[in-house]
C-alpha cells in the first residue's frame, strides 16, 4: 500500500508542475515509471526491475506505433476518433504481445 502512495505522490507532483495543459497528466507517466522501478529494485531486486523495465519499453513502443497509426488514419480519411481508436486497439495489443514474446529475455 505504501508503494502505491509513493507512486501517487511522485506522479501528482509532476502533474502539478504543468497544470496548464492536459499533457501534464501524461507527463506523470515517466515519473511514476521511474518510481515503480526504484521501488521494484528496493523490494524485489534488480532482476525483477529489469523485467518491469522491459515491459515498459515494449508498451511504449506499442503505444507509439498505435498512436502514429491512429493519427495517420484520422488525418487521411477524416474518420471519428472514437471509431478509429477502438478499431485499432487490437493493433496495440498485438504489437505489445509480439514484443513481449519476441524480445530476448
Predicted model pTM: 0.75
One digit per residue, the tens of pLDDT, for the chain of length 105 reads 677 777 777 766 655 555 555 555 566 677 778 888 988 999 999 999 999 999 999 999 999 999 999 999 999 999 999 999 999 999 999 999 999 999 987
pLDDT of residue 18: 55
Angle at which helices 2-17 and 23-44 pack, to 10 degrees? 150
71, 84 in Cβ contact below 8 A? Answer: no
The reported pLDDT for the residue numbered 1 is 62
| Residue-range definition of the domain harbouring residue 27 | 1-44
CA distance 99 to 19: 34
- Please tell me whether residues 61 and 98 are part of one structural domain: yes
Q: Are residues 56 and 100 in the same domain?
A: yes
Is residue 57 located within the same domain as residue 101? yes
Amino acid at each position: 500500500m505504501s508503494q502505491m502512495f509513493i507512486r501517487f505522490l511522485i506522479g501528482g507532483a509532476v502533474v502539478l508542475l504543468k497544470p496548464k495543459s492536459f499533457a501534464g497528466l501524461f507527463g506523470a507517466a515517466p515519473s511514476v515509471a521511474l518510481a515503480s522501478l526504484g521501488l521494484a529494485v528496493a523490494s524485489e531486486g534488480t532482476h525483477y526491475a529489469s523485467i518491469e523495465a522491459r515491459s515498459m519499453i515494449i508498451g511504449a513502443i506499442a503505444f507509439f506505433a498505435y498512436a502514429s497509426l491512429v493519427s495517420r488514419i484520422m488525418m487521411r480519411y477524416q474518420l471519428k476518433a472514437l471509431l478509429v481508436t477502438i478499431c485499432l486497439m487490437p493493433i496495440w495489443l498485438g504489437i505489445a504481445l509480439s514484443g513481449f514474446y519476441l524480445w530476448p529475455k
